[in-house]
Structure 1
């Protein structure tokens, strides 16, 4: 075997495709019972819902767009119809709301990035000093809290874990439409494209991918003088007792899984700089709650409700996790459905609640916000993601933290392979967290998979 790819999410599938096309003997090991990783598309009614990645974010220099758009797979959204609501049920004028949000965004955009400061500190200082925000201090406070949750700035329990300002410069966006949808097919379509299953299933490439193969150890020789010097292969052992060997491996496990397992997973242990990167980079927990109503009650679609919690209403609900929900948005292809987002520690609490408890809390939120201005129809069903508690993910996407700026570590460090003494890359690292400038996105994951495949193709050809 030339290469074993560990983890068959978008990055792993991308690496397998490129290695296969180069004529190498490859195999994928996936701990889950399905491929896709944090792409998880489920069938619901006549269409599909994405519990993980859902939109192709941008066009220029976006490998997902380059793969999918020529096949006519991507749809463009219609302009949103926006409402801004306090938890008292009172509507806030769009012009006022957007001026406050613009002031917050401007403060972050114009802030000095070459430092160790967090985004949270930036916006909280803005609330005290920005002229627009000082005009309406109470309303500005609610919008600052919304911004923090909507931008997933983190640092709730430990400021060092918050998103850094410098990270905004390191992670590059792609120009063009940010919310390109999959026309009801779901993001898993990109996996079919990578495997050449779409548009013609008869042309699907044949790559051995073994499911339910949770890897326990990755062992390799480090130098000609080591005890196993005569065996240059890397050896992979799985929880079910199966063993595999190859010239090299590509590890695409999520950053959250690496955090939990790196000390036992690699033999010999990882170098200090790699461990430092794993510890200081962070993985955000961002969850979705799909709310399916008996019929739509909002005046127009696409609907975009920004919801602003007052301190009094948070207390009324006992500071429940539901008070951390920041918005409700209509769902393409599902006219009866709204999507709620929840982040961080509140998302973890939501994940631990039963489905009935989630439905009860959602109904409390709907009653508070919409009883005055809208006539809400009954909730028929609730579907949610649970990325934080998923042992094969432990979160949703990676980001650069304040700890990175203070202690070092980056996506670039995380992506660096481990080499044999002859400079052959024996253990490579891919996955979205290793994308140098497009971490947090599927296109970054695919880009990283292609990067490591190209590295090994060049090395093996030598």
Structure 2
């Protein structure tokens, strides 16, 4: 780049953010022979993939699951690199209500039939929020529910769908599009997790890359032929193109200044797409809760205080009484701003109604707070009421052929997933490589 020969930090492409989409993009460009630099604000790579060693336990504080292994590129990476995985299909669950009373087989089947009926009917209300659509459908529930009192069942179903809005969509029913069943981009096949941590995937795709950690970008300036990137320390980087792999939360918070401002269409897309808080609470107990009556069931739903709580039993993975709870939406936002003591008090006060043998204190507890993370401001995107692919497609269009966006929020099919982020990163790199003028000096 002759005009910037005196600039030390001059590259073909700069990737901002070392999450999996940014790393996938950088790796693809690097392997094609391009001069690429990745700038990462944190002191580690991975973004919302974050495995930590807690004493002898590896805990995934961010993403945990490969959502379906058939044709999933993340699964392919595990196989090519002999990474250990563990099948954990938590679709098969046991359900309890009225304290610790389990659904009978008949009740469980009728409850799930009602859930499936509702999810199919939601397609009739594409422009509604899920909360309004659900209330309309509950008034015309057309399945056998003879094992329940109808009013009681309706209340439980409304709470169950609120739980779905929380997990896996990180929001509340009132903000979630009724289209959501068509927008959950999972692959077919088993769901698996990583006993030694998801970040093993990052090691495979970050090898050989120029990654500068603790480098926070504050300003991006579009020049005539290049893009200038300024960090919070005043350091300047120059590139022909840049790819922003920061979270949608970062874009919503406007933590990076664009000169000139982003086009109105991009700003509107950033505003309209949803981005929610989602948190995990791992806790170890001194004795097992002995939940598993069925060897294939490791997920347990408890209906207490007019809400469903989901408890995942990880004891077989860690060889000790280890449990995980997942929270999204308002309950996750509560965790973002609460202490560990307050979080456990909330869990204990609710779960003890269903699990009388739950000890008053855990042996240890690890709590995430992604909504309070100043480099994320949440966990992942979700489809808001009136969701349109046009919003996502807009973010997939470059600004002046120089500024590109990538991430799970840029995936039409697989938003909110690791494979969606990865595939979008590769797609962006290939789009750059396909443009004949991209790397001309």
- On whether the aligned pair clears a TM of 0.5, the verdict is yes
* Structure-1 separation of matches of 2:417 and 2:92: 26
**Partner of residue 397 from structure 1, selected from 380, 388, 401:** 380
SS of the aligned residue for 2:288 comes to coil
Structure 2 runs not aligned, ≥5 long: 1-10
What residue number does 2:347 align with?
Answer: 362
Residue 99, structure 1, aligned to residue 110, structure 2:
yes
Once the two structures are TM-superposed, the CA of residue 376 in structure 1 deviates from its matched residue by 5.2
Return the TM-score normalized by structure 1: 0.84
What residue number does 1:458 align with?
Answer: 434
What residue number does 2:156 align with?
Answer: 142
Residue 174, structure 1, aligned to residue 187, structure 2:
yes
C-alpha spacing 1:143/1:111, structure 2 compared with 1 (3 Å): closer
* Structure-1 separation of matches of 2:98 and 2:267: 44
Asked whether the 8 Å contact 2:90–2:299 carries over to 1, the reply is no
SS of the aligned residue for 2:37 comes to strand
Asked whether the 8 Å contact 1:438–1:444 carries over to 2, the reply is yes
The 5-angstrom pairing of residues 9-408 of structure 1 reads 9-73=19-83, 74-77=85-88, 82-86=93-97, 88-112=99-123, 115-131=126-142, 132=144, 135-152=149-166, 156=172, 159=174, 162-177=175-190, 179-182=191-194, 184-195=195-206, 204-205=207-208, 207-221=209-223, 229=224, 232-261=225-254, 265-300=257-292, 303-311=298-306, 326-331=309-314, 333-334=317-318, 335-371=320-356, 374=357, 379-405=362-388
Structure 1 runs not aligned, ≥5 long: 196-203, 222-228, 312-323, 420-424
* Structure-2 separation of matches of 1:303 and 1:173: 20
Asked whether the 8 Å contact 1:291–1:339 carries over to 2, the reply is yes
* Structure-1 separation of matches of 2:16 and 2:402: 13
* Structure-1 separation of matches of 2:420 and 2:124: 22
C-alpha spacing 1:87/1:284, structure 2 compared with 1 (3 Å): farther
* Structure-2 separation of matches of 1:123 and 1:340: 25
* Structure-2 separation of matches of 1:356 and 1:248: 47
C-alpha spacing 1:290/1:343, structure 2 compared with 1 (3 Å): same
C-alpha spacing 1:364/1:111, structure 2 compared with 1 (3 Å): closer
Deviating beyond 6 angstroms after TM superposition, the runs of 4 or more aligned structure 1 residues are 78-81
Asked whether the 8 Å contact 2:122–2:134 carries over to 1, the reply is no
What residue number does 2:422 align with?
Answer: 446
Asked whether the 8 Å contact 1:142–1:310 carries over to 2, the reply is no
C-alpha spacing 1:185/1:245, structure 2 compared with 1 (3 Å): same
Return the TM-score normalized by structure 2: 0.87
Once the two structures are TM-superposed, the CA of residue 246 in structure 1 deviates from its matched residue by 0.7
Equivalent pairs counted in the alignment come to 417
Once the two structures are TM-superposed, the CA of residue 42 in structure 1 deviates from its matched residue by 0.9
* Structure-1 separation of matches of 2:372 and 2:267: 23
Higher-helix-fraction structure: 1
Asked whether the 8 Å contact 1:127–1:141 carries over to 2, the reply is no
Residues 26-71 of structure 1: CA deviation (Å, up to 9, x unaligned) = 1111111111001011112333111110010112342111222333
Asked whether the 8 Å contact 2:276–2:381 carries over to 1, the reply is yes
C-alpha spacing 1:432/1:327, structure 2 compared with 1 (3 Å): same
Asked whether the 8 Å contact 1:127–1:137 carries over to 2, the reply is no
C-alpha spacing 1:208/1:417, structure 2 compared with 1 (3 Å): same
